[in-house]
Structure 1
Amino acid sequence: MDALREIAPHIWQLPFPVGHVYVVALPDGGYALVDTGVPGSAPAVLGALARLGGRPHDLRQIVLTHSHLDHTGSAADLVAATGARVLAGALDAPYIRGTAPEPPPALTPAERPLHDGITAQFAAAQVPPPSPVQVDTELHDGDTLPDWPGPVHVLHVPGHTPGSIALHLPRSRLLFPGDIIGTDPEGRRAVLGPFNVDRETAVASFRRLAALEDVDTVCVAHGEPVLGGARAVLGAATPQRDWT
Structure 2
Amino acid sequence: MKKLVTTLFVFAAVFILSGCGSTETSKGKSSASLPTEKEVPLSDKQTTDSSKKLTVRTFDSTDSSSWAASFQVISSDKGNILIDPGKYDDELSNYVKTIGGVDAILITHGHWDKLRGLDDAIKANPDAKVYVHELDYPYFKDTKRNCSAEQGVEGTTNAKATTLVEGNYEISGYQIKVIHTPGHTEGSVLYHFPEENILIGGDTIMADKVAGSQHPGGNEAERKASITKFKKLSFPKDMRIYSGHGASTTYSELLQTNHDLQ
Give the TM-score normalised by the residue count of structure 1: 0.70
Kindly tell me: are residues 170 and 95 of structure 1, through their superposed partners in 2, closer, same or farther at Cα, counting changes over 3 Å?
Answer: same
1:36 — aligned with what?
85
Q: Quick check: 2:112–2:146 contact (8 Å CA) kept in 1?
A: no
* CA apart distance, 1:166: 0.8
1:192 — aligned with what?
210
Match among 82, 93, 98 for residue 46 of structure 1: 93
AA of the residue aligned to 1:193:
A
Cα deviation digits, residues 153-207 of structure 1 (max 9, x gap): 0111111111111101122322111111223xxxxxx212134511221232233
1:224 — aligned with what?
247
1:156 — aligned with what?
180
Q: Quick check: 2:106–2:132 contact (8 Å CA) kept in 1?
A: yes
Counting helix residues as a fraction of each chain, which structure ranks higher?
A: 2
2:121 — aligned with what?
78
For residues 97-112 of structure 1, the aligned pairs below 5 Å read 98=141, 100=142, 102-103=144-145
2:190 — aligned with what?
166
AA of the residue aligned to 1:25:
S
Partner SS, residue 191 of structure 1: coil
Q: Does 1:22 align with 2:59?
A: no
Structure 1: gaps (5+ residues): 1-7, 106-118, 184-189
- The separation in 1 between residues aligned to 2:75 and 2:55, in whole angstroms, is 5
Structure of larger gyration radius: 2
2:32 — aligned with what?
none
Match among 222, 225, 244 for residue 204 of structure 1: 225
Q: Does 1:92 align with 2:144?
A: no
Kindly tell me: are residues 49 and 143 of structure 1, through their superposed partners in 2, closer, same or farther at Cα, counting changes over 3 Å?
Answer: same
* CA apart distance, 1:240: 7.9
2:109 — aligned with what?
66
Kindly tell me: are residues 232 and 182 of structure 1, through their superposed partners in 2, closer, same or farther at Cα, counting changes over 3 Å?
Answer: closer
Identity, % of aligned pairs?
A: 21
- The separation in 2 between residues aligned to 1:240 and 1:232, in whole angstroms, is 11
* CA apart distance, 1:132: 1.5
State the number of aligned residues: 197
- The separation in 1 between residues aligned to 2:226 and 2:90, in whole angstroms, is 33
Aligned CA RMSD, in angstroms, stands at 2.7
Give the TM-score normalised by the residue count of structure 2: 0.66
Kindly tell me: are residues 87 and 240 of structure 1, through their superposed partners in 2, closer, same or farther at Cα, counting changes over 3 Å?
Answer: same
